[in-house]
Amino acid sequence: MSLRTAPEALLRLIRQRWSIENEWHWARDTQLGEDAHRYANRTGAPVFSFLRTVVMNLLRRDGYRSIRQGLGELAYDIKGMLALGGVSSVELNAP
C-alpha cells in the first residue's frame, strides 16, 4: 500500500514541523541554554523548563520577536521584568 500526497501538502507538513522547531526548541536551546543547563537531567528540569516557557511567552506577548533582544533589554531592568508579569511600579512602592 502506498500513500499519495500532493507535493504542496507534504511541503506544508514539513514547514509546520520546522516552524515549531524554529520558534520554540531553537530559541530555548540557543537563547536560554536549555540543553546545556546543569539541571537538564535532574528533577528540577521540568520546573526550569516551565519558567523558560513563561519568560518566552511574556517576552513575545510584550512584542519582542527576538528572545535575545528582550533578555538584553530587560537584563538590568527589574521594573521592566516585573511589568512583563503584570506588576506595576505602584505596587512595588506600596508599604
pLDDT digits (tens, 9 = 90+) for 4-29: 777 788 778 777 776 666 666 777 77
Number of structural domains the chain divides into: 1
pTM: 0.56
Residue 91 has pLDDT above 70, yes or no: no
Of the pLDDT bands very low, low, confident and very high (cuts 50, 70, 90), residue 93 is low
| C-alpha dist (Å) from residue 18 to 21, 28, 93 | 5, 14, 45
Of the pLDDT bands very low, low, confident and very high (cuts 50, 70, 90), residue 89 is low
| Domain-located, residue 1 | no
Rounded CA-CA distance 21/67 in Å is: 15
Rounded CA-CA distance 58/81 in Å is: 9
Of the pLDDT bands very low, low, confident and very high (cuts 50, 70, 90), residue 37 is low
Per the structure, the complete domain to which residue 32 belongs is given by: 7-93
| Domain-located, residue 44 | yes
Rounded CA-CA distance 23/17 in Å is: 10
Rounded CA-CA distance 48/58 in Å is: 15
